[in-house]
Amino acid sequence: MSKHDELLVDVATVVESGQSNQMSLTVVTGGTVITGRLAPEAV
């Protein structure tokens, strides 16, 4: 079962709502670093 990170959910909500068209994002989980850009689905 997935465990949602509330801050990540909030950031995704801001980007998806159009308040920001893209946002750089770095996530570290289980010793793995994931870097990229979060963009609305429409983009």
What Cα–Cα distance (Å) separates residue 35 from each residue in 1, 16, 19, 25, 26? 23, 18, 21, 6, 4
Place of tokens 């870097």: 35
What mean pLDDT is predicted for residues 25-38? 90
> 1-27: per-residue pLDDT in tens?
467 789 888 888 888 887 778 888 898
Question: What per-residue confidence (pLDDT) applies to 35?
Answer: 95
Question: What per-residue confidence (pLDDT) applies to 2?
Answer: 66
